[in-house]
Chains A and B, each alone.
Chain A
Amino acid sequence: MVLNVHSLPRAILHVDADAFFASVEQATNPELRGKPVVVGRERGIVTAVSYEGKALGIKRGMTIAEVKRRFPQAVILDSDYEKYSLFSLRMFDILREFTPDVEEYSIDEAFADLTGLRRLYRCGYEGIALAIKERIKKELGLTVSLGISLTKVLAKIASSWQKPDGLTVIPGREIHHYLSKLPVSEVWGIGPKTSALCEKLNLKTALDLALKTEDFIKKYFDKRIHEIWFELRGIPVYPVDPTPKSSYKSISKALSFTPTSNRDFLLSQIAFNLELACFKARAYGLRAKRVILGLKDEDFNFLSEEIELPQESAYPLEVLPHLREAFSRLYREGKLYRQVVVVLSGLTSNQVKQRSLFEDTIRSEKIEKLYQGIDYLSGRYGRTIVSTATSLFVVKEKPLKRKDSLRIPFLPLRLS
């Protein structure tokens, strides 16, 4: 018992639906079962592949053209986010029938706290998990991979241990066993930068990290990794948050670069971050009432300004002039800056829009149409295909090509 925790003082379940979008398509259309199904035709890239497709070698992020050429037998479909959302909600509802503490983490993932339910269901946590699996399979026709352990980070490790249709329980006494086989980079929340640092410190597996002393962790890592360290050791830090996520509160984008005082470069970074944030807001059908611009100088001092927009917007053409003004107020000649941050906040749904008396409505309607076009092109050719000239500095250096254009992680928005 390397980590000094026993069986399961707390039982956190992580549910991960297998090849979710493709599985939903197969569940709703029996003809597709057993066939390699690919979703994402409208975006030109593969957003999801069924297990049959994965077996053939189709991967997420491939272009649809490539799939057509190499795998003529694949069934290629448009994404139907509304349908996926409905399945997602149904899946969460099934979980909620077992326990009230369900956190909808993303469209195809959830955490649930099962602690204390053994008496109620007269079986072990594994038995409860099997019952959940059974219900989801029977009612939705989907398979899920489940993981049970003491904390959210460990539960996530458990659910990915065996896929698809898996169930892995990691009790306290076996944590070290699993962690010793897991590269540190695969721990939830550890990104490429932290992995690189771990490598430098000769921490290869998750266990290497978990066994370090608290002083060591505090010395080399930030608060976030400190929390993960606790979680890996079976001490819960992240609570299961059962408040249903209906939308984002804010969207923030930050990029770091070699410290510079070049105004044009910094403005270009700001414009680029704004475009990414606005793209995401539009994808979720949201508009922002406020924008925060932040600048971090080379000594890590952080300066920021919040701007109240006269009219809610998710369009860089409308917002950028305000950021430009804020930038000229924050910027100090001769100072070197290493990071810009753009945060959209005060988000509201764009389904309902209040018309305005004095604004140029024709112009704003034109901008709206323009961005519908831009969003279509971004989906097809990557998000930097059309950008404001201000961000050209960045976009020229680092264009986001089709294959890099990220899968937008859609939240299970409650449909009205």
Chain B
Amino acid sequence: MLAKVSTKDLTKVLKLCEAVADKRASMAVLSMVLININPEKGELEFLATDLDQGFKGKVQGEVEGESLTFCVPARKFYEVIKNFPEDEVLLVKEDSRLIVRDLAERITYELALGDPSEFPALPDFNEEQAIDIPGHILSLLIEKTIFASSKEEARFVLSGIYFEPLKEEGKLRAVASDGHRLALFEAEILGLDKTELSPFILSRKSAREIADLSEDELTVKLAYINNYAVLWTSLGIFFSRTIEGSFPDYRAVIPSTFERVAKVDRRLFMDALRRVSLLVTEKFKPVTLTLNKNELILTSQETELGRSQIRLGCSYEGEPFSISFNSEYLLDPLEVMQSEEVDLKFRDERSPAGVFGYRDEGFLYIVMPMVI
């Protein structure tokens, strides 16, 4: 068997295989990528899974000989191809080895093969149930919310992104929360009202993969089938088991009104938040915001090292008011927002505050204050 493929195409597919394959390798075969060579179609198919996630990708190439199936270690194969200096790579199977070399035979790798019969069968998914989404929109839905999801396993339903199709409005909504703050982003998706898509929770890890895969695609297909989130892209099919359980009633915690609104320059506010926390060494970086007429004062908590204070212009007309937050929880949303000026909205020092921007349509962020 002989196959000649583009190194670039192969690298893209193997990168995903490597990301999906099980590194802990509870079963040795799960750290492998399964390769199907199909000379009739002139393509190579690559499969990897850790049983929770899986990826099936195809690469076109010049293929000679009979069809074949074999396994190679995903990480090592990826590293070999990623570092391959030539534009085209030759793959040859000889006995129990995969030979990877360039056309001039200056570089040769011989990779030992694994037993393909142990490789688990991957589930089949029907593309008909999927919705079409512009790739960059799906990527945005994830990027604008993922930072608020919980990094702790103790709250597993919060450790991912909740996707909720709002069929009547024709919008797909992504919500993430770690219990202290909540980020929401929604976008219009054509034809969403006619699909059967139901809500699901995507794990952080899978969400990252999906965002990476979709970012540069014109259109991708997304479906939720039998507790799997499935994504079709030009590279192949990615699927991931979703998080079981019900997402908390997030609507109940979003305040409908805010009494106090301060307008502040997003960049200046971010710089001030970073500067005011320089003397704080702890994990939580509490910052107290004090609003006076057209002035916002940021004060750090007093520590052994001392304290800091930064004054910032803003437009605020209400009564003087003070409230404290974890400064990271304010920086995170500002980082993904676009508006030059943002609205900081408050009710009182015990209720959630909101961050909004006129150029951030569809984005909503609320955060609980700290008690100092």
Min CB distance A403 to B, Å, is 37
Judged by a CB distance under 8 angstroms, whether B104 is at the interface is no
Q: What's the minimum C-beta distance from B289 to chain A, rounded to whole angstroms? A: 15
Distance in Å: Cβ of B47 to nearest Cβ of chain A: 34
A283 at the interface (CB under 8 A from B): no
- Quick check: is B304 within 8 A (CB to CB) of the other chain? yes
Q: Which of B154, B155, B180, B182 makes the CB contact (< 8 A) with A355?
A: B180
Q: Hey, which chain A residues are within 8 Å of B371, CB to CB?
A: 352-353, 355
Contacts of A355 in B (CB 8 A): 180, 350, 368-371
**Which of A308, A311, A361, A416 interacts with B304 by CB under 8 Å?**
A416
* Residues of chain A lying within 8 A (CB to CB) of residue B368: 354-357
Contact with B along A335-353 (1 / 0, CB 8 A): 0000000000000100111
Q: Given A310-B155, A348-B283, A416-B303, are A357 and B253 also a contact pair (CB < 8 Å)?
A: yes
Q: Does the CB pair B154–A414 fall under 8 Å?
A: no
CB of A352 to closest CB in B, whole Å: 5
A307 cross-chain contacts in B, Cβ below 8 A: 154
- With both beta carbons as reference points, the residue of chain A lying nearest to B303 in the complex is identified as A416
User: When the two chains form their complex, are residues A357 and B301 in contact, meaning their CB atoms are under 8 A apart?
Assistant: no
Contact indicator B326/A354 (Cβ below 8 Å): yes
- Whether, in the assembled complex, B165 has its beta carbon less than 8 Å from a beta carbon of chain A, the answer is no
Q: Are A351 and B372 in contact (CB under 8 A)?
A: yes
A357 to B179, CA, bound (A): 5
Closest A residue by C-beta to B283: A348
Q: Does A216 contact B (CB under 8 A)?
A: no
Contact A352 B372, CB 8 Å, known A310-B179, A357-B352, A358-B179: yes
Asked if A352 contacts B181 (CB within 8 A), the reply is no
The 0/1 profile, CB within 8 Å of A marked 1, for residues 354-372 of chain B is 0000000000001011111
A357 and B304 contact, CB distance less than 8 A: no
Q: What residues of B have a CB within 8 angstroms of the CB of A356 in the complex?
A: 179-180, 368
A359 to B352, CA, bound (A): 13
Complex interface residues of chain B between 195 and 232 (CB less than 8 A to chain A): none
Q: Are A357 and B283 in contact (CB under 8 A)?
A: no
Confirm or deny: A309 has a beta carbon within 8 angstroms of a beta carbon on chain B. yes
Q: B258 at interface (Cβ–Cβ under 8 A)?
A: no
- Residue B240 CB within 8 A of the other chain: no
Residues of B within 8 A of A352 (CB): 284, 286, 301, 370-372
CA distance in complex: A358, B248 (Å): 8
A353, B370: Cβ atoms closer than 8 Å: yes
List 22 interface pairs A-B (beta carbons < 8 Å), by A numbering: A308-B152, A308-B154, A309-B154, A310-B154, A348-B284, A351-B372, A352-B301, A352-B372, A353-B370, A354-B284, A354-B326, A355-B180, A355-B350, A355-B370, A355-B371, A356-B180, A357-B181, A357-B352, A358-B248, A358-B253, A416-B302, A416-B303
State the 7 A-B residue pairs at the shortest beta-carbon distance, nearest first: A308-B154, A355-B368, A353-B371, A357-B253, A358-B248, A356-B179, A354-B370
Residues in chain B within 8 A of chain A (CB atoms): 152-155, 177, 179-182, 248, 253, 283-284, 286, 301-304, 326, 350, 352, 366, 368-372
9 more contacts with CB within 8 A, not counting A352-B284, A355-B369, A358-B179, are A307-B154, A308-B154, A310-B179, A311-B179, A352-B286, A354-B326, A354-B368, A357-B180, A357-B181
